[in-house]
Structure 1
């Protein structure tokens, strides 16, 4: 998933990227093995990857269906629940546009909803205010790895006869009340894109609570063909088949599946060290005036990114420039989708929290196997910025304005 990234100007400094996927010897060996097997399309390795996702996510009666991206998983979800022109889906504006695009390509419309100030996940209370007879679904997004209030959203959905598509692109491996994201709820979509906690280079998965949906998803992701998946899982082709529905071509091939299997072998380590890095950031930044951190100790969270909030867009711009000069890249997760030209006419509720958050959030470097020196370099650079702001009087003025 592409994001707004700011790269350093000073090439004399060793750059610290926002993302750095771990592609160690395990991945190279997995790719070599997949290539040597000679079956490059969806095949036995694709099924093994799905089975390992099932095991990791502690699925009981559910099954992952792998796709070539999370966007396509979201699009399959929108198709699966029958979205069409005239339908409305309530969704946060504060998220990446992939979910919105997956919905609007069915002809359905987005209704933009605000997020909660503490988590920046969709606000259930605001969702209920936006429901009309045209509402067919809710798009719930997990932010950073923090789970949204899915249980509350499910209660709302049950009362109004709605479906919920959970965009868990940030939350592969996170838990909510002890349950793995994906093991409960309605429909859950994950991302294994180039910069996610685990990667298949490009890839995603969709999980539903209805086991009978798996066959429909197999057909949807492979051109509407009724009996292709089982044959391909055996590294074979089926030459006697029927086309039973409009379908797409968004399956996951053997080479990316092999990469995913290698990454899954390290997932517990990835999550544990990323939790440690987030806690280190928290310790180093907690006392800074004007810097707001998320209220979590990261237990049960599989952090995809680490985000701080500053006072406003002007302060963020100065901090971005300060870090850029020191070779530290940053990102912005997210812009408000309601401000995009394509969605200018979309219905919306009050978006005051979203409007504020889009001018405050700043993504710091976070990747598996960072070292303490890198985290300390980022922390000290941010602390140095606020020391400079204090000395120049800018900080005191900002405090007075925001008091």
Structure 2
């Protein structure tokens, strides 16, 4: 008789409870499947959670759509340049390119793995319209310095907070201050709407433009039109896209939003436990944060580049999945021609970074199993 294979531990594991399933069933029975009243309720819930005061939120079908709309809201267009990390998912670079602007690849700093404000400043030129910093893993990074840079230079800030829904800076939620902020609610984020996103802006006029862009440039949304007897009449006032969030997706997001504090606390606990268990393990570098104001999306460590592939294989053999966030954007064929600065930190980090399993409601015993396996493997490969 052979030993049973260990229970697999995935990198990501969405939480879909009976409350979410009921919300979807109720939305299906209601009969209005497209963007509608539940979408509006989700937007209202987002505004309450974020503590928006004089700011406005618009739900979208993906985080990438939110980024595209956020860039348009900031006035980014053909001929412009937008500075963004090379250590980043390609969604930012693609969203920038969709506007007709050119991505400019910037380095990150060692501690938070967020955009380095000093290196960003060195890249600002006459065509620079905006900076798009990523709050990697949910950590806000040096956001205050970036806003100070924007104030000095006149560039716009479009925050990629797709990792950071629920993260705070000095007690204030990301999205409740600043310029333009974009969120993601894809299947593996802190909360999910299966797929979805949101963009936050500062004024009602910009919100109205976003509404037009979100749904094909049509001046009145479908739900509003069907409240009168001439529902078929509308005008098309601008270019637009199909970036709207359906009632079904919004029902999922709204049910999860009701539990977001619980979800964040659970993930924060798991990250802190990882930090304690992996402290002092030779060659393993944990995040330099106590996660106090962080809503963690992923938990990453850094290991010596020459050991990483072997460690991935050893963990896989123990039933533990891992990931790499991110590959170096400067090496992608599509982005090789982009203007860039010194990317020495990015080049080093992308060779060392390793994403460990992190789930909402992850059992302590699961975290302990992952940490014990890493300790065993690292000792074994010395």
Give the TM-score taking structure 2 as reference length: 0.96
Picking from 364, 368, 381, the partner of 2:373 is 381
- Please report how far the alpha carbon of residue 84 of structure 1 lies from its aligned counterpart in structure 2 after TM superposition: 2.3
Gaps in structure 1 of 5+ consecutive residues:
1-9, 390-394, 396-403
Question: Within 5 A, what are the aligned runs for 1:50-69?
Answer: 50-69=43-62
Task: Verify the 8 A CA contact 1:110 1:346 in the aligned structure 2.
Answer: yes
Partner of 1:46: 39
Measure the CA separation in 2 of the matches of 1:116 and 1:233: 51
Question: Within 5 A, what are the aligned runs for 1:12-161?
Answer: 12-161=5-154
Task: Verify the 8 A CA contact 1:270 1:368 in the aligned structure 2.
Answer: yes
Cα deviation 1:261-303 (Å, max 9, x = unaligned): 1101111110001111001101110111111111111111100
Residue 331 of structure 1 aligns to a residue whose secondary structure is coil
Picking from 190, 196, 213, the partner of 1:197 is 190
Is 1:358 aligned to residue 360 of structure 2? no
Picking from 347, 354, 361, the partner of 1:369 is 361
Question: Within 5 A, what are the aligned runs for 1:205-224?
Answer: 205-224=198-217
Is 1:272 aligned to residue 262 of structure 2? no
Q: Point out the more displaced range, 266-275 or 157-166.
A: 157-166
Is 1:257 aligned to residue 257 of structure 2? no
Cα 1:378–1:80, aligned 2, differ >3 Å: closer, same or farther? same
Task: Verify the 8 A CA contact 1:274 1:367 in the aligned structure 2.
Answer: yes
Task: Verify the 8 A CA contact 1:44 1:234 in the aligned structure 2.
Answer: no
Structure 1 segments, 4+ long, off by >6 Å, are 232-237
Measure the CA separation in 1 of the matches of 2:129 and 2:75: 9
Residue 191 of structure 2 aligns to a residue whose secondary structure is coil
- Please report how far the alpha carbon of residue 148 of structure 1 lies from its aligned counterpart in structure 2 after TM superposition: 2.5
RMSD of equivalent CA atoms: 1.7
Measure the CA separation in 2 of the matches of 1:237 and 1:255: 26
Is 1:346 aligned to residue 338 of structure 2? yes
Cα deviation 1:151-207 (Å, max 9, x = unaligned): 211121122221111000110000011110000111000000011110000000000
Partner of 1:305: 298
- Please report how far the alpha carbon of residue 325 of structure 1 lies from its aligned counterpart in structure 2 after TM superposition: 0.2
Cα 1:342–1:235, aligned 2, differ >3 Å: closer, same or farther? farther
- Please report how far the alpha carbon of residue 82 of structure 1 lies from its aligned counterpart in structure 2 after TM superposition: 2.9
Gaps in structure 2 of 5+ consecutive residues:
none
Cα 1:52–1:233, aligned 2, differ >3 Å: closer, same or farther? farther
Cα 1:80–1:370, aligned 2, differ >3 Å: closer, same or farther? same
Residue 275 of structure 2 aligns to a residue whose secondary structure is helix
Give the TM-score taking structure 1 as reference length: 0.92
Cα 1:57–1:345, aligned 2, differ >3 Å: closer, same or farther? same
Measure the CA separation in 2 of the matches of 1:204 and 1:233: 25
Cα deviation 1:42-85 (Å, max 9, x = unaligned): 00000000000000011111121000000000111122233222
Picking from 146, 149, 170, the partner of 1:177 is 170
Q: Point out the more displaced range, 80-89 or 127-136.
A: 80-89
Measure the CA separation in 2 of the matches of 1:114 and 1:225: 40
Is 1:334 aligned to residue 307 of structure 2? no
Task: Verify the 8 A CA contact 1:66 1:204 in the aligned structure 2.
Answer: yes
Is 1:283 aligned to residue 276 of structure 2? yes
- Please report how far the alpha carbon of residue 126 of structure 1 lies from its aligned counterpart in structure 2 after TM superposition: 0.5
Q: Give the count of matched residue pairs.
A: 380
Residue 328 of structure 1 aligns to a residue whose secondary structure is coil
